[in-house]
Structure 1
Amino acid sequence: MPTSRELLSTVLQRLASDGGRPLPAPDLVTTGYPSLDRLLAGGLRRGELAIVGGDAGSGKTSLVMGIAIRAAVAGHPVLILAHESTVERCWERLVSAESGVTQVALRTGILPSGGVDALKSAADVLRRLPISVERAPHGPALLAERLDAGELPALVIIDGLAAVDQPPRPVAEAHAQVVRLAKRAAVDHDVVVLLTAPLTTGHAQNPPPRPTLHEFGVLGAAACVADVVMGIFREALYDDAPDVAGAFEVHVLKHRAAPSAFTDLHIEPGAGRVEDLLES
């Protein structure tokens, strides 16, 4: 293992490159969404914990499935630990996200025009990508054992925190422990850990306000421990106007190296495919 001074030399060499301009950090794991990566100062970074939160049905899983596919396309191995679904259902979400075929169509087998070709294309892509999916242990202790069981890939996605429980302990205490052990795993294994979490504050306003950092609850662990916290606001949950059906805001509420900001992405209702408006 390199010494502290050797690591300093590595950092200084990168910052004083021959071209006169510092090289980008070599340990970035891009989300694949250009407008989001710009807000994240180039992307997610190894050794860091990122949390994505939002109301129920806001698209937390859709966003992290999209990030998983795009990160894998860029060559970063990905492990998805699914708390809220079986491994098979998680793969269905990935197929839907890659193909654009709705989850209803996948469940019923009634495909739209072009659906067969879209599924074949998605299958070809997903078979080649370095993505693996496992059922996640529900308790913090078992999850910690899994994260420490061996070498982890560049990106570990834990979806989602709401399903974690460890009776008789309070749920919030168990969730806070998961946040802390996820941060420890990110640092110890030098990987990105991306965790989905629910918001804790009920919204009485209509439309409700955009997400804020204090709504993540978990006894303050998200605000204190996570390196990046993102909140999703999906207006279609509270307004059935046709012009907001695909609106998908991602708010960067905390970033250790960048200011708070937000970007507009787009989600395909039903398919759960999140796209960047800059790419269209």
Structure 2
Amino acid sequence: MPDLVARLRAAGCVFAEEEAALLVEAAPDAAALEELVRRRVGGEPLELVLGWVAFDGLRVAVDPEVFVPRQRTTWLVEVADAALTAAAGDRPGVVVDLCCGSGALGLALAHRRPGATLHATDDHPAAVACAARNLAQVGGTVHLGDLASPLPMDLRGRVDALLANVPYVPSAAVAAMPPESRDHEPRSTVDGGADGLDVLRRVAALAPEWLRPGGSMHSEVALAQVDAALAVLTDSGLLARVDHDEERDATVVSGTRR
């Protein structure tokens, strides 16, 4: 183990001891461990090497070419859960997860709301396959397609919580992102256009059509984007608000259908 920790630390792994323990746990034998370490030392994200990420108390499967959910995004799940409780009370609710990636957000909210009806969408086949495996445990349904376009029509006007972890990094800033994300995740999962809000605008425009009265959409943005993001939601006819968590440095904008 000391030699493994030293190799990981030399490769720039800040939490080398913790990573070494996880790699040893994941490897069935010495040869498999060496392969996992080779991948990690080569710069592959730990979550992809392990095949899972810890998220909101769950182990969520992740695959190559699928966005790895960040720990700060658990704040979005907490905000959505509180809004859903306020709007739906004890009713489990109808949840939609757009740009679902691995399905982590919908999965976490469904675990918090047993019995919730869950639908998720993504336009990347690898993400849909990954999310389908994750959401099977809560009876969720995953659809391949752009945003809300593949959702069943009978969900219109019935959605209590619309989660959309949209890409929000401005195009010009993508090159400065950490290489673990820049080199191992599809650019479309992080690049939000010139000001980072292109996909948020599209989600906000469609949200009133799918939300029930009192239902809300929730998206993560950078703190510097809050004013512009709130204006996007307001322009779509939604009652907009922001929730920021200092500890996680996480910012969520929400829009409620009046």
TM class, shorter-length:
0.3 to 0.5
Alignment TM-score, normalising by the size of structure 1: 0.38
User: Normalising to structure 2: TM-score of the pair?
Assistant: 0.41
Q: Which has the higher contact order (CA 8 A, sep 6+)?
A: 1
